[in-house]
Amino acid sequence: MRLLSPIPQTHLSEAARIWWHSFGPRHRRDRVPHICPAHGIAAIDAQDRVAGVMGLRDSEGGFLLAPPLSLRWLYRAAPPTADLVIDGIVARQRRAGTGRALLAEAGRRARACGRPGLRAEVLARNTAAIAFYRALGFSELTRGRYGRIWSGQVVIMRRPV
């Protein structure tokens, strides 16, 4: 598996589609959003397909370039941080090591940029994601109603790099 960042143009549409299918609003998942290649990492498999993708967010922006207007109006940001924020991570096949590899690459990227840690903002009801982050050294910082206000409580997790 190759990890590429910025995401090359040849894989950009596929990466956007995979990410949006997991994190976009249910009623708009048929569209392919515009994403920032520099704010993402793509895992490319042996068949040259996107096996997984991770969005990243910092003070300069996030993975999604132009969120739908409804998301911008109804979005509540989590507390500011100096950490590199994981802006969604998704793998085509669970338990194949893709998520772990993407997270390791994000850690390397955070260190290279002088960021003190990685932060994940996970829906409290997503127990599988919370367990994944805990297994990789993340600990809970706080909980709140961040992100899309109708999504429910969010657990903010962090791991130093």
pLDDT tens track for 78-99: 788 999 999 899 999 989 999 9
pLDDT of residue 26: 65
Given a contact cutoff of 8 angstroms between Cβ atoms, the answer to whether 108 and 151 are in contact is no
CATH for 2-160 is 3.40.630.30
Angle, vertex CA 16, rays to CA 81 and CA 117, nearest 5: 20
CA dihedral for 88, 90, 96, 102, sign (positive or negative): negative
* Segment 40-89, tens digit of pLDDT: 999 999 999 999 999 999 988 889 887 656 555 556 677 889 999 998 99
Within 13 Å, how many C-alpha atoms sit on residue 155's CB side?
17
pTM comes to 0.89
Q: Are residues 156 and 142 in contact, defined by beta-carbon separation less than 8 angstroms?
A: yes
